[in-house]
Chain A
Amino acid sequence: MSYTSYNKKNNNIALIDCNSFYVSCERLFNPKITNKPVIVLSNNDGCVISRSEEAKKLGIKMGEPYFKVKDLVKKNSVHVFSSNYALYGDISRRVMKILKEFSDKMEIYSIDEAFINLSFVENERLDEFGKEIRARILKWTGIPTSIGIANTKTLSKVANHIAKKNKTGVMVLNKDIDEELKKFHVFDIWGVGKQLSKLYIKNSIDTAYKLKNISSTWVKKNTNVLGAKTVMELRGIPCVDLETHESKRKSCCVSRSFGKKVENIEKLKESVTTHCLSAAEKIRADDQLTKSVTVFIRTSPFDKYREYYSNSITIDLPIATSNSIELIRAATEGLKTIYKYGFFYQKTGIILSNLSDAKKEEFNLLTPLLETKSKSLMKAIDYTNIKYGRNAISVVQAGINNSWKTRREHFSRIDTASFEDLPTLKI
């Protein structure tokens, strides 16, 4: 059985993806690194998270630990940067604002990717329209993009893959779709994870084309709803809508790797306290409460000379809260139970889960009157920190000299959204 693509006339979805986004941001004010190999490292200079085309050609892999590519970096004078999320965030907001002017129906998928609905554009004009979007983003922000256009989200992702290799950076996938799907690996399809691609390959479904033409009953029996939706989308039948309004998060995780490994529980307490403060601030900004706190700690998995240790614990709170002090109290208790003496810890983190809307939360009979008082204290803290800068008010347990703070050896220190760190030109 073969399915011809069902061309619903008025559904055109574009996926806009910024090319090597973090590298492109670093290049914006630093023309010396245009056309040179450049990589950006994750928090604490741990792993490679963005690579220029030149760096990809050297064989540097995505997600590879930095120490593993250090020789390659030295030999080829690769330019290395610590991640500068303030800068990337500001540039991302600019790109999204520009996209929003092209289409109101938009889903921001990640910091460097967005879907927009282009159903109002005639099919013959799609390519030209895509080129216009690409040219505007490049001129206005300096960021190069790739744009894939098709009539479902899944197909627009396929089109985007092709656009990346295309000279114009734009690919409209609305004819000869099967030819492209025959060349497309099943594990590159959006929504097909590791497990699912293993299952497909075991059943000799190795291309998008074969997956598209599989029997619906087989998919329903062997995978889940999402698997079935992916197959429908490959057939050109839209099944996954754009998530145009931002849904509130369901959990909130804050974690950091240490610049220097930490043995002392007091130092771990400081970092866990700092995580609690920033996580609590985040959920308060969204008017949310949490019902449980998870604390996790681990040593370095790459340390050949020391034993690996990793543990976590979840503490359920009697009443949903967003109070920093209560969260710190719970997390500190949790930390004490999982901490083991004699290990050199590399990372700590906390996760607030079971988040709920603060406005909808019913009053518990046990809710002490104190709650209202602490709420106004939290409000005052948030207000002061917004006005006078992060950590103007903190708690003593967060420590004052944080020797464990993140390592950022290759930081560009440019922030286009802060007067302190504006890009500077010598003229």
Chain B
Amino acid sequence: MKLTTPFYLHKVGAGFPSPATDYIEDDLDLNTHLITNAPATFIIRVQGKSMREVGIYDGDLLIVDKSINPKSFSTVIANVNEELVVKTLIKEKESSYLTSGSKNITNKINLSENPEVIIWGVVTYVIHKL
């Protein structure tokens, strides 16, 4: 997992050196922005449209951190019926449930009624090609 974007400030040449040279630290590294805990972070590709409402489209890459504890409205990867799926977690006073991000309430999975459902990881970023 290494992505670097080269960052050139000025051409090498004779003449007065750029005063900015002293401030160049390194290439801009997207990893430092997208990944806070490397050993627990996985990149997963998605196929399908069920999570359009939260901004996840067919073919997108998800940055998933397994070390984070999900909050209400976290987008999560969950193990439902022996299958990994992407859902939105909603925590309420009484219980928590998973939805597909749509307002379609009939489509939710109650976590206290389905104790076998396991949260696999929390989606922290989506990489989407325009």
Interface residues of A (CB under 8 A from B): 29, 31-32, 34, 93-95, 97-98, 136, 139-142, 416-417, 419, 422-427
Contacts and interface: CB of A to CB of B under 8 A. Distances in A.
Given A140-B67, A423-B45, A94 B39 contact: yes
B79 A423 contact: no
Closest CB pairs A-B (n = 9): A140-B40, A94-B39, A427-B48, A97-B39, A424-B45, A31-B79, A32-B82, A427-B86, A31-B82
Given A140-B37, A141-B40, A427 B66 contact: no
Contacts of A142: 66, 120
17 contacts: A32-B82, A94-B40, A97-B38, A98-B40, A136-B67, A139-B40, A139-B67, A416-B43, A417-B1, A422-B43, A422-B44, A422-B45, A422-B61, A425-B46, A425-B77, A425-B84, A425-B85
B50 interface: yes
Contact of B46 (A94, A136, A427): A427
B51 interface: yes
Contacts of B97: none
Contact of A427 (B1, B61, B82, B85): B85
Interface string B100-125: 00000000000000000000100000
Interface residues of B, number: 27
Contacts of A95: 39
B83 interface: yes
Given A94-B39, A425-B84, 7 more contacts: A31-B82, A93-B39, A95-B39, A140-B40, A141-B39, A422-B45, A426-B48
A32 B66 CA distance: 19
A427 B51 contact: yes
B114 to A, nearest CB: 14
Contact of A34 (B39, B43, B56, B82): B82
Contacts of A136: 67
Contacts of B82: 31-32, 34
Interface of B: 1, 37-40, 42-51, 56, 61, 66-67, 77, 79, 82-86, 120
Contact of B47 (A34, A97, A419, A424): A424
Contacts of B1: 417
A425 B38 contact: no
Nearest to B69: A139
Contacts of B51: 427
A139 B84 CA distance: 16
B52 to A, nearest CB: 10
A426 B47 contact: yes
Contacts of B86: 425, 427
Nearest to B2: A417
Contacts of B67: 136, 139-140
B64 to A, nearest CB: 10
Contacts of A139: 40, 66-67
A423 B42 contact: yes
B39 A98 contact: yes
Contacts of A417: 1
Given A29-B84, A142-B66, A422-B61, A427 B56 contact: yes
A31 B84 contact: yes
